[in-house]
């Protein structure tokens, strides 16, 4: 096993272990972080003129937003807030597609700023540690979030 394979295997195990041990709130925070990392990778790929890398990174960011963040919303409980977040996630996905088509780092920066603002707000509403894990998630998050996308993407 070469060093790169070992590093990739270690990173994958680290992510999977983090997902397995995380409560629903932490899983959403991990999704935000994963999307931000994918966007940073896309930005770097554009600057390096790595078209394949850019496409893969943007696809990963879209997947995290679509199958992780958006599907974790509980629209019955979250009402207008959940719908507004779903609409914002749709906007971000469309902007990422435009960034991909036009190699536009400014659009990537815009989406990264939106995600960062949401992640900061999400981190601020972290439930107290004395709340049991199954009850710890705010109303917008299902108890079985699609956060496993993060580990597989």
Indicate the number of domains in the chain: 1
Which residue in the block uniquely carries the two structure tokens 């906007």?
91
Phi-psi region of 142 (alpha: psi -120 to 50; beta: other; left: phi over 0): beta
Task: Quote the Cα angle for 64-70-74, to 5°.
Answer: 145
- Which sign, positive or negative, has the C-alpha torsion 127, 23, 33, 89? negative
In a domain, 63, yes or no: yes
In a domain, 7, yes or no: no
In a domain, 116, yes or no: yes
Task: Quote the Cα angle for 27-117-20, to 5°.
Answer: 5
In a domain, 101, yes or no: yes
Give the tens place of pLDDT for each residue, 76-123: 999 999 999 999 999 999 999 999 999 999 999 999 999 999 999 999
What is the pLDDT at residue 14? 47
Average pLDDT over residues 34-41: 98
User: Contacts by 126-133 with C-beta closer than 8 Å and gap 24+?
Assistant: 126/25, 127/23, 127/25, 133/23, 133/24
What is the pLDDT at residue 119? 96
In a domain, 2, yes or no: no
Measure the CA–CA gap between 48 and 50, rounded to whole angstroms.
5
- Quickly state the pLDDT bin for 147 (edges 50, 70, 90): very low
In percent, how much of the chain has pLDDT > 70?
68
- Quickly state the pLDDT bin for 1 (edges 50, 70, 90): very low
| Structure token pair of residue 107 | 């659009």
| Structure token pair of residue 111 | 């989406």
Cβ-contact 66, 96 below 8 angstroms = no
Partners of residue 73 on adjacent β-strands? 141
In a domain, 47, yes or no: yes
In a domain, 34, yes or no: yes
pTM, to two decimals: 0.72
Structural domain including 126 reads 23-152
Write the CB contacts of 69 (distance below 8 Å, at least 6 apart in sequence).
28, 31, 32, 35, 85, 89
Give the tens place of pLDDT for each residue, 121-140: 999 988 765 444 444 444 44
């Amino acid at each position: 096993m070469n060093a790169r394979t070992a590093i990739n295997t270690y990173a994958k195990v680290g992510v999977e272990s983090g997902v397995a041990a995380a409560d629903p709130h932490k899983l959403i925070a991990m999704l935000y972080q994963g999307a931000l990392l994918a966007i940073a990778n896309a930005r770097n790929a554009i600057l390096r003129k790595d078209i394949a890398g850019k496409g893969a990174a943007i696809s990963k960011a879209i997947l995290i937003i679509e199958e992780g963040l958006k599907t974790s919303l509980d629209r019955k409980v979250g009402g207008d807030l959940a719908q507004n977040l779903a609409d914002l996630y749709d906007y971000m996905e469309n902007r990422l597609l435009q960034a991909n088509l036009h190699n536009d780092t400014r659009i990537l920066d815009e989406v990264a700023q939106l995600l960062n603002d949401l992640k900061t707000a999400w981190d601020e509403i972290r439930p107290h540690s004395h709340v049991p894990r199954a009850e710890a998630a705010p109303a917008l998050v299902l108890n079985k979030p699609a956060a496993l996308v993060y580990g597989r993407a």
